Amino acid sequence: MRKDIFSLRHFTFVLLLVFATISSSHLCPMYAQTQLTNIPTMRIETFDGMGITSKTDYKLARISVTDTTGVVYYDSVSIRGRGNSSWDRMGSKRPYRLKFQKKEKLLGKGYAKAKSWVLLANADDKTLIRNAVTFLMSERVGQKVVPAVRFVDLYLNNTFMGNYMLTDRVDVRPHRVDITEQDTVVTDPNTDISGGYLLEIDGFTDSEATYFHTKKNLNVRIHSPEEEVINDRQYSYIQNYVQTFEDRIFQQPIGDYMSMVDSTSFISWYLANEIAANLDAWWSIYFYKERGDDLLYWGPLWDEDLGYNNTTRVGDVSTSLMSEVGFGKSQGKIWMQQLKNDEWFRRATADAYEKIYNEGLTDFMLHVVDSLVDELRESAEQNFNVWSINTKVYEEINLFNTYDEYIDCLKSFIRKHNDYLLAEFNSRRPGEPQEPFSLSPNKYYRIHSAGNENFVIDLTDGEITEGHAVCLNLKDDDALSQQWRPVILKEGLYQFVNRQGEMALCDYTDSTPYSYSLVLYPINGNDERQQWYLSDPRANDAFNIYSVTTGKHINNRGGRYNVGNEVVCYASSDKDATSQNRLWIFEEFADVENEPDTTATAILSAQRPDYALRYVPAAGRLRFASAQPETLTFNVQVVSLSGQVVRSFEAREGCSVAELPNAPYIVTWTEGGVRRSVKFIKE
């Protein structure tokens, strides 16, 4: 946060550019250049002298901006309306988009140099500052991209329109979303098209924009590269990338989505929307991806005028989570409903929020409110001389007769909602992470039914032939056919090999929901029918065992505890966690002689005694192993021998290197003030 954020300089223009090309004939039509209040005055004069009636068709205008330093003029600026529902609902006080002939550093040093800028009307926000408070708060909680905040008194064709907020348009630009801009048509098939991409989950659709739809039917708009530039290869690349992310969060159990997101921007984006109580948060979600970076970054926040208890559609949300009551159930809320059940997400949000709350979040936000009110009081008075202060514009819950009453209501909400979030996130915090359950490839196990510990999974007649069925049988310590060796294909993914004949348990069903076959088959690590996940342990350490290829669960057919009763695969249902017919207990029975542990290859074993860097070939992942994973807070880079950083990740999250070419790399990090590195060969 800049030290002068609340100074007059933060909210007034540093007007540096005077155009030598503007002729005196362009200056004469502009009206008297006086400053209405203590904030800058912007005057817009359309060439035709008429108002702005379209949000699609631009018209030309002249603009002047007056502040204590003087006047700056801009000629032949294009202007049109903007917004979706905000354009229709705001009556005569509507938002606008400005487009200059060339890139302008409109707000001065430290801000974007761009053609396009936005004027927000804040017509249904009687405080005038909900957007500004949220943008400034989002920087405090860790957002990397924060739209500019500047207020002006606006005249249109010499008619005073009230107080407006001048801010950035969300686009690819230094000091905005600062990623590689793909602004030319790519024809070379060797061109790196991994970034940058600016995307939006968009509840609205624009027939002139470029979209793709995920399997969950979310509308994802590609803002950059623009429609005139993007080719089929780029379109397919980013569509597949986002689809992979969605697929992972809907895997059962939830997949490795964390390796695809920048956790700082993701958690701060989520928390900022919850703090702002932005019901529109999941209706419009901006996120982006940089070239050569495997992570999706989240933000900036946008469209916050319905936040902080400012819509009647839901009512009082001072003690509610937006992930539960917010709009967008057919859009981004689909993802949030899934992610809020993930233990990593719940723990990360609780930890991050507790930290920023204890560091003075509420006092900071109240100070922002007070500073903005001090700056805008004169302008607010002028605004409400034109626009009624106690008339409903859209869906406002509260109507008051004075500006201070609206401000007091906003501050009261901030206090109450921030306190609620602390308690709510802590109540949802999962227990401290336990060492994940893992079967040992050096052991044979008997697999008991949770409903009757005397019955285990065995082979019909104890025979070993291809396609032979499995069944329940009474425990027999001498029966090799009741002993199963797990082969770890990657973390949490197993084959089960029978000791009697070294054949693998196989889900041989087709895609129909009521096919039952569970058989033995020759061992093949690439055959997904032989690949099995375990659910999180239920009561008494009992697990679901379910197929990668069909998702079906191993089940004791009919719940009958008879010798020879079929063990089959049933479709998943709401009974998975409760039915003892599909819950199984693993009992260690015997050691596997001369069976090496092939779960991972340690490529760094003793840089420090309490952690090691490991490479898991089957999963294509680098990860740090530690008895104290909470200490793995340092950042790690994977560097090619040419010096290019090809991966960056936080140590405790690990990183996928599956898509990297087979080659030597240097893995490097700084921990405890010491720079460490190790050579890693991907084969």
User: 654 by DSSP, 3-state: which?
Assistant: coil
Q: How far apart are CA 330 and CA 203, in angstroms?
A: 8
pTM of the model: 0.65
**Residue 441: its pLDDT value, please?**
86
Q: Look up residue 488 and give its two tokens.
A: 């770890």
First to last CA, the chain: 45
Task: Give 155's Cβ-side CA count (13 Å radius).
Answer: 22
Q: How far apart are CA 473 and CA 452, in angstroms?
A: 11
Q: How far apart are CA 604 and CA 627, in angstroms?
A: 15
Of 91 and 599, more confident = 91
> Of the candidates 467, 502, 495, 466, which has an alpha carbon nearest to the alpha carbon of residue 481?
502
Whether pLDDT at 86 is above 80: no
Q: How far apart are CA 316 and CA 621, in angstroms?
A: 46
**Residue 539: its pLDDT value, please?**
55
Whether pLDDT at 643 is above 70: no
Are 115 and 141 in contact by the 8 Å Cβ rule? The answer is: no
Q: Per-residue pLDDT averaged across 638-657, rounded? A: 79
The pLDDT tens digits for 488-539 are 887 778 999 998 877 899 987 654 444 567 888 888 878 888 999 888 666 5
Q: State phi, psi for 376 to the nearest 5 degrees.
A: -105, 0
Count the Cβ atoms, other than its own, within 10 Å of residue 114.
Answer: 22
β partners of residue 487: 495
Out of 3.90.380.10, 1.10.287.130, 2.60.40.3080, 1.10.1040.10, the CATH code matching 601-681 is: 2.60.40.3080
Whether pLDDT at 64 is above 60: yes
Scanning the structure block, which residue is given the tokens 């994973």?
629
Whether pLDDT at 554 is above 90: yes
Q: Per-residue pLDDT averaged across 648-659, rounded? A: 83
The pLDDT tens digits for 446-501 are 999 998 989 999 987 766 778 888 999 999 998 889 999 998 887 778 999 998 87
- Residue 19 binned pLDDT confidence (cut-offs 50, 70, 90): very low
Least confident of 205-219, 370-384, 655-669: 655-669
The CATH code of the domain at 443-591 is: 2.80.10.50
Crossing angle of helices 403-428 and 343-358, in 10° steps, is 130
Whether pLDDT at 354 is above 50: yes
DSSP 409: H
**Residue 162: its pLDDT value, please?**
97
- Give how far Cα 624 sits from Cα of 101, 433, 558, Å: 52, 16, 44
Q: Where are the alpha helices (DSSP H) in 304-360?
A: 322-325, 333-339, 343-358
Are 101 and 114 in contact by the 8 Å Cβ rule? The answer is: no
Q: How far apart are CA 67 and CA 240, in angstroms?
A: 49
Q: Per-residue pLDDT averaged across 641-653, rounded? A: 78
Q: Look up residue 593 and give its two tokens.
A: 């002689």
The pLDDT tens digits for 136-154 are 999 999 999 999 999 999 9
Residues of the chain with CATH 2.80.10.50: 443-591
CA 682 to chain centre: 29
Cβ-based burial of 246 (10 A; exposed 0-12, middle 13-18, buried ≥19) = middle
Q: How far apart are CA 6 and CA 234, in angstroms?
A: 42
β partners of residue 591: 443
Task: Give 327's Cβ-side CA count (13 Å radius).
Answer: 19
Of 433 and 50, more confident = 50
Of 445 and 431, more confident = 445
188: region left, alpha or beta (phi > 0 left; psi from -120 to 50 alpha): beta
**Residue 510: its pLDDT value, please?**
58
Of 607 and 537, more confident = 537
> Of the candidates 91, 97, 86, which has an alpha carbon nearest to the alpha carbon of residue 63?
97
Q: Look up residue 17 and give its two tokens.
A: 């550019």
- Angle 539-543-548 (CA atoms, 0-180°, nearest 5)? 155
User: 60 by DSSP, 3-state: which?
Assistant: strand
Give the percent of the chain with pLDDT over 70.
86
User: 647 by DSSP, 3-state: which?
Assistant: strand
**Residue 1: its pLDDT value, please?**
37
CA 47 to chain centre: 44
Q: How far apart are CA 550 and CA 496, in angstroms?
A: 17
Q: Per-residue pLDDT averaged across 314-327, rounded? A: 93
- Give how far Cα 152 sits from Cα of 5, 13, 14, Å: 17, 9, 13
> Of the candidates 607, 640, 643, 642, which has an alpha carbon nearest to the alpha carbon of residue 625?
607
**DSSP for 61-127?**
EEEEEEETTEEEEEEEEEEEE--SHHHHHSTTS--EEEEEEEEE-TT-TTS--EEEEEEE--TT-TT
Residues 6+ apart with CB under 8 A from 446: 456, 457, 475, 482, 483, 484, 586, 587, 589
Give the percent of the chain with pLDDT over 90.
56
The pLDDT tens digits for 229-278 are 999 999 999 999 999 999 999 987 788 898 899 999 999 999 999 999 99
Q: Per-residue pLDDT averaged across 391-396, rounded? A: 91
User: 170 by DSSP, 3-state: which?
Assistant: coil
> Of the candidates 18, 36, 34, 16, which has an alpha carbon nearest to the alpha carbon of residue 26?
18
Q: Look up residue 677 and give its two tokens.
A: 């590195």
**Residue 106: its pLDDT value, please?**
93
Q: State phi, psi for 467 to the nearest 5 degrees.
A: 85, 5
The pLDDT tens digits for 105-119 are 999 889 999 999 999
Beta strand 443-449 with 296-298 is unpaired
Cis before 225 (ω within 30): yes
Sheet holding 601-608, edge to edge: 601-608, 611-616, 621-626, 655-656
**Residue 597: its pLDDT value, please?**
39
What mean pLDDT is reported for the chain? 85
Residues of the chain with CATH 2.60.40.3080: 601-681
> Of the candidates 362, 200, 378, 410, which has an alpha carbon nearest to the alpha carbon of residue 296?
200
Q: Per-residue pLDDT averaged across 396-417, rounded? A: 97
Q: Per-residue pLDDT averaged across 77-92, rounded? A: 76
Q: Per-residue pLDDT averaged across 352-357, rounded? A: 97
**Residue 537: its pLDDT value, please?**
65
- Residue 600 binned pLDDT confidence (cut-offs 50, 70, 90): very low
Whether pLDDT at 284 is above 60: yes
Residues 6+ apart with CB under 8 A from 478: none
**Residue 522: its pLDDT value, please?**
87
